[in-house]
Amino acid sequence: MSARTPVPWFRSALTASLAAFLVYRQGLGTCHEHLGVALRHLDRFLLGAAPGARSLDRELLASWLATLAGRSPTTRRNYFRIARQFCLFLARHDPGTYVPDASSCPRGGGDFRPYLYSAGEIRALREKMGTVPI
């Protein structure tokens, strides 16, 4: 988190764990603004969907990820990775903690398809730019 970004406050039953994870990541120097945003999103979800939840299980995590359906594939992937890292952090103290398999991470990317220029199109572009034709 940057120096000008306020520390996010958590209100779910996982408040202490979320805050400890954030402090841990800050100590590693790997705490970026998107980490706090994702953790606050998870916290708000837990408040509404499972206010007493003391851990994340497969179904709860899947429900949270489903709320991200309107977000970009990259955002969904990043949020999944943050949740997985949080679960790994929790598993250090409770080996029974559910940790999602990395292979179940949502695919990133999207529908981008590169455009391949034909030799004629390249020739026309080069001529338009005033370079020597091929």
Asked whether residue 86 is assigned to any structural domain, the reply reads yes
Closest to 26 in 3D by CA, of 9, 55, 54, 3: 3
Q: Which residues span the domain enclosing 111?
A: 15-128
What pLDDT is attached to residue 103? Answer: 82
pLDDT, tens digit, 9 for 90 and up, residues 49-103: 999 998 899 999 999 999 999 998 889 999 999 999 999 999 999 999 999 998 8
Asked whether residue 4 is assigned to any structural domain, the reply reads no
**Distance linking the first and last C-alpha atoms of the chain:** 51
- Number of domains present in the structure of the chain: 1
Residue 122 has pLDDT above 70, yes or no: yes
Mean pLDDT of 96-122: 83
